[in-house]
Amino acid sequence: MDMTDIFGFSQAVVPYLKVILVPVVAFFVIGIIKRLIRRFLSTTALPLDAQNILRRAVVYVLWFAVLMYVTYELKLEEIFKPLIGASVLVGLAVALAVKDALSDAVAGVFLLLDRHFNIGGEIETMKYRGEIIDVTLRKTRLKTGDGTIVVLPNGKIDSSGWVLHEKKTEAEEK
């Protein structure tokens, strides 16, 4: 067997071995990174919704990098360029379709992180005044003075503003 045959064979096979090996190794490495991120975020004051979003975003970015590496190794860039362009257009269409939900989620992250108001606090926003009984990533629930529960999207609360009222003590109410 000639050295040029061995060298030619290895040049043909090594990229495919990399393409098989890299995703397998990435699977384990990304799993470890995901656990490390979960452990780190559990020590922060971030709400569980925000922690979950951050963890998923990191995992998606890492898998995207693995996919791009595999595409490069297989020399499929030319095939994927139109697909990536089409996926960008589809992504934009989906983003426009769910822009209100995305707006609520982003506003919810900021409301939860900023801690301007807490559960049990009393706010006035969008012509409603009441006690905050729940704040999630997309919605805030208020209980008005007459006992009605109002569900408001966080994006609207953030854009319209709010007035935080101090809770009166029992002695002040009498």
Question: 4-13, 44-53, 118-127: which has the highest mean pLDDT?
Answer: 118-127
Nearest to 17 by CA among 55, 74, 102: 74
* Residue 2 pLDDT grade (very low, low, confident, very high; cuts 50, 70, 90): low
pTM, full prediction:
0.52
CA distance 73 to 88: 22
Nearest to 158 by CA among 91, 89, 90, 109: 109
* Residue 171 pLDDT grade (very low, low, confident, very high; cuts 50, 70, 90): low
Question: For the chain, how big is the Rg over CA atoms in Å?
Answer: 26
- Least trusted range by pLDDT, from 75-79, 82-86, 111-115, 140-144: 111-115
* Residue 112 pLDDT grade (very low, low, confident, very high; cuts 50, 70, 90): confident
Nearest to 75 by CA among 4, 11, 153: 11
| Fold for the domain defined by 115-173 | SH3 type barrels. (2.30.30)
What pLDDT shows up at residue 31?
94
Sequence length of the chain is: 174
What pLDDT shows up at residue 150?
93
What pLDDT shows up at residue 170?
55
What does the buried/exposed string (b/e) look like for 50-72 if buried means 16 or more CB atoms within 10 Å of the residue's CB?
Answer: bbebbbeeeeeeeeeebeeebbe
* Residue 151 pLDDT grade (very low, low, confident, very high; cuts 50, 70, 90): very high
What pLDDT shows up at residue 106?
80
CA distance 130 to 142: 5
* Residue 71 pLDDT grade (very low, low, confident, very high; cuts 50, 70, 90): confident
What pLDDT shows up at residue 67?
86
Tokens matching residue 117: 């108001």
